Structure 1
Amino acid sequence: MIPNPDNRPPLMQKLDGRWTATGDVTGEPAQYDVIVAPALQGQFTEISMNDVRAPSHCEARIFIGFDGESQQVIAHWMDNFGAADSIPHGTGSMAGNVIEFIVLYPQSAFKDRFDYFPESDSWALEITAQQPDGGWKHFARYDFRRVA
C-alpha cells in the first residue's frame, strides 16, 4: 500500500512554506530563515531552521509527526550541537491552534509550543526549560512571518 502523499493534520500543513523567524534565545536577539515542508511521504512536517549570521551559528531540523492511533504528537529535534542532543524524541499533543511537545533530555526537559494565529497566518514558537523545582523558565521565542 502506498501511503497518502500528505497524511498530516491540517494544522501541521499550515506550517508549510518559507518563513522569517525573529525573537530571542536566552534573551539574546535571534533571527532564522525557516523552510517547512512535508517529509517522509507526508508522515512528518520537517522544519529547517538556519540562523542568518554568516557563518551560521545554529542550524536545526525538527521532524514533527502525528500518530492518529494514540492521538500523540511525536517530534525529533536535531541540530548542529551533535548527535547526542538528538536523543530522546519528544511527545505531546495538538489542540485548537496549538502543537506542543516535551523533550525529556537527561539534563532538563524542554517544552516546545507552536501557536498558530489564523488572522495573520503566522506562528509563534515558545521554548521553555524545566527547572530543578519543576517550574518552567523561558529559553527561546520566535515569531514566524511568511516570506512572500
Structure 2
Amino acid sequence: MAEFNQDNEHRPSYRTGLVYDLAEYLAACGVCASPDADQRVVGNIPAVFAYRLEDEPDRAMAVFNITVDEAASDSNPTVRFSLVFRGEPRDQITPLEDAALAYKHLHDLTDIKLTATSGFLSCRRVINDPPLLDTNDRWHAVDTYTATLLAPPTTH
C-alpha cells in the first residue's frame, strides 16, 4: 500500500490502516458510503476513497495527506489528515454541507472510537480551505484535521 503527497509522488506509508479506520468511522456517521461498497453505485451519499479522489462518481470524498508525528509521544502520536469533498458539476453547496457533516463528527471531540482497535483522544480541524473549482465545474471543499491517536489496546 502506498501513500501519495499532494504532488502525487509515492512516499512510504505509515499506519496504513488509519485511513480505512477513519473512512469506516465516517461511513458509520453517515458522512460517506461504506468503504466496502461499490463506490460507483452508492446513491445519495459521497463515495469514499483512500489517498486519492477518483474522477467518478462526481459526488465523492477522499481521506488523504496523512502524516504521523511521534515527536511528543510514541504511544499517542499526533496525526494530520485532510478530507476533500466534491459535488456534482456546478453544485457549490453540497461539498460544503458534506464537509460540515464530517466536521460535526470530528472537530473538538474527544475519545472518538474509529474501530474496535483504533481511535482519537482528541481531534480538531486546523485548516478550512475556501472551495475550489476543477476543470469539470465541480466544487471541492478541503479541510485538514489534527488528532492525537489513542494507544492501541494491549493483548496478553
Regarding TM over 0.5, the answer is no
- When normalised by structure 2's length, the TM-score is 0.29
Normalized per residue, which structure has more strand?
1
- When normalised by structure 1's length, the TM-score is 0.30
Normalized per residue, which structure has more helix?
2
